[in-house]
């Protein structure tokens, strides 16, 4: 289970890297567009001398700017190559996840068969012990109706009977303890089955989104091919780019604030927690444990019934009441 969660986190990190590559490609398109506009606006003078055409660039500063922007375009081309390598890596990882899903379904099938087998064994053991108890009751009734005059023999037989009953009772208590352990084991298997099903749903959702990512990457390649035929804009557009860059930095700061709670959260173990962290109600077979997907703590159903969409998930997930209020207040402040 821990290995599956690690692979899930690694895939999410890869998805964030792919999203990070997209703004770089857009920046490259902007630089090329600027270069196109700048080259069109560069003044030129043409003179014919002895059958030769001489071109003179009147604005030396614009020429240096064009050279620098060409260098930036080469750098962006290298970054695009890195994004293609990242795409190939993601394809391989998605293939590995498909194989992992097949293994998980096989484990679910084996666990289900084990639970069914345990249930059948419990039914057989209950039936056998019921028959033994009925047999003991019949023996007691028979001995009671056939008392002999020999008091010593009667006491001896009664002593043997008591010992037999005590042994049977001890065996019965051991059987009850074993049945209780089996029920506890079945409960743990049921919880693991639920966790596996939830993980399979999350992995299936990610696989469903993969064609959209591939289509987006194809569009980015098409835009890249088109922008190769264009030049970059003039110095005025560069000044506008400074404003957009400031906005991008602000968005990066906001994203860091959103991911900070997730990086500091620690996933509590089920075996370490006996009661709800919010209302302190003891957990039992009927009162299950639920993890908050934001802070990682364990709560009961009532205290973790809120759902909110986190940056690391594509749909709303279960969170505790405190995390829900905190995240909602942050979203409202960002919107304002």
Q: Are residues 240 and 208 in the same domain?
A: yes
Residue 227 lies in a domain: yes
In CATH, what number is assigned to the domain containing residue 328?
A: 3.30.40.10
Q: Are residues 277 and 331 in the same domain?
A: yes
Dihedral sign (CA 205, 211, 217, 220):
negative
pLDDT at 274: 87
Residue matched to tokens 């087998």: 117
Residue 242 CA to residue 244 CA, distance in Å, equals: 5
Domain-ending residue, one of 260, 292, 317: 260
Give which of 250, 253, 259, 216 is closest to 26, Cα–Cα.
Answer: 216
pLDDT at 52: 39
3 state SS of 301: coil
Residue 232 CA to residue 20 CA, distance in Å, equals: 23
Residue 28 lies in a domain: no
Number of folded domains in the chain? 2
Residue 2 lies in a domain: no
pLDDT at 320: 92
Q: Are residues 288 and 229 in the same domain?
A: no
Q: What angle do CA 60, 61, 62 make, to 5 degrees?
A: 90
Q: Are residues 222 and 178 in the same domain?
A: yes
Can you give the residue range of the structural domain that contains 284?
264-335
Residue 37 lies in a domain: no
Cβ atoms of residues 39 and 235 within 8 Å: no
Per-residue pLDDT of the chain (336 residues; tens, 9 = 90+): 556 456 556 666 755 655 554 554 555 556 556 556 655 554 443 333 334 334 344 456 667 777 777 787 788 888 888 878 887 887 888 788 778 777 877 887 887 788 888 888 888 888 887 888 888 888 877 777 776 666 777 778 778 888 888 888 888 788 778 878 777 877 887 787 778 778 878 877 776 776 776 777 777 777 766 766 665 555 555 566 655 665 665 555 555 555 555 545 678 888 888 889 889 888 887 888 888 988 888 999 889 888 888 777 778 888 999 888 888 887 776 565
Could you write out the DSSP letters of every residue in 207-224? HHHHHHHHHHHHHHHHHH
pLDDT at 56: 43
Residue 219 lies in a domain: yes
Helix axes 60-145, 151-227, angle to 10 degrees: 170
């Amino acid at each position: 289970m821990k290995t599956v969660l690690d692979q899930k986190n690694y895939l999410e990190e890869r998805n964030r890297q792919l999203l990070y590559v997209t703004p770089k490609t857009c920046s490259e398109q902007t630089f090329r567009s600027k270069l196109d506009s700048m080259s069109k606006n560069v003044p030129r003078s043409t003179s014919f001398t002895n059958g030769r055409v001489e071109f003179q660039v009147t604005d030396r500063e614009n020429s240096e700017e064009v050279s620098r922007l060409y260098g930036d375009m080469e750098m962006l081309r290298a970054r695009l190559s890195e994004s293609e390598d990242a795409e190939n890596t993601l394809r391989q990882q998605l293939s590995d996840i498909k194989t992992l899903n097949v293994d998980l379904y096989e484990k679910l099938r084996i666990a289900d068969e084990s639970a069914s087998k345990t249930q059948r064994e419990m039914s057989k053991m209950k039936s056998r012990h019921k028959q033994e108890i009925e047999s003991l009751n019949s023996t007691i009734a028979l001995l009671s109706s056939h008392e002999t005059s020999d008091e010593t023999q009667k006491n001896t037989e009664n002593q043997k009977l008591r010992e037999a009953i005590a042994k049977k009772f001890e065996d019965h208590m051991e059987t009850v303890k074993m049945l209780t352990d089996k029920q506890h084991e079945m409960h743990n298997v049921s919880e693991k089955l639920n966790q596996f099903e939830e993980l399979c749903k999350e992995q299936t959702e990610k696989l469903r989104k993969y064609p959209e990512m591939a289509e987006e990457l194809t569009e980015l390649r098409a835009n890249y091919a088109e922008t190769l035929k264009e030049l970059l804009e003039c110095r005025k557009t560069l000044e506008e780019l400074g404003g957009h860059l400031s906005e991008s930095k602000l968005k990066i700061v906001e994203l860091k604030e959103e991911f900070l709670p997730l990086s500091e959260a620690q996933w509590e173990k089920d075996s370490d927690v006996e009661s709800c962290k919010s209302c302190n109600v003891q957990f039992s077979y009927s009162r299950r444990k639920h993890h908050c997907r934001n802070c990682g703590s364990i709560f009961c159903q009532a205290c973790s019934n809120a759902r909110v969409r986190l940056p690391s998930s594509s749909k709303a997930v279960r969170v505790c009441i405190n995390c829900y209020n905190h995240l909602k207040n942050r979203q409202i402040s960002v919107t304002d």
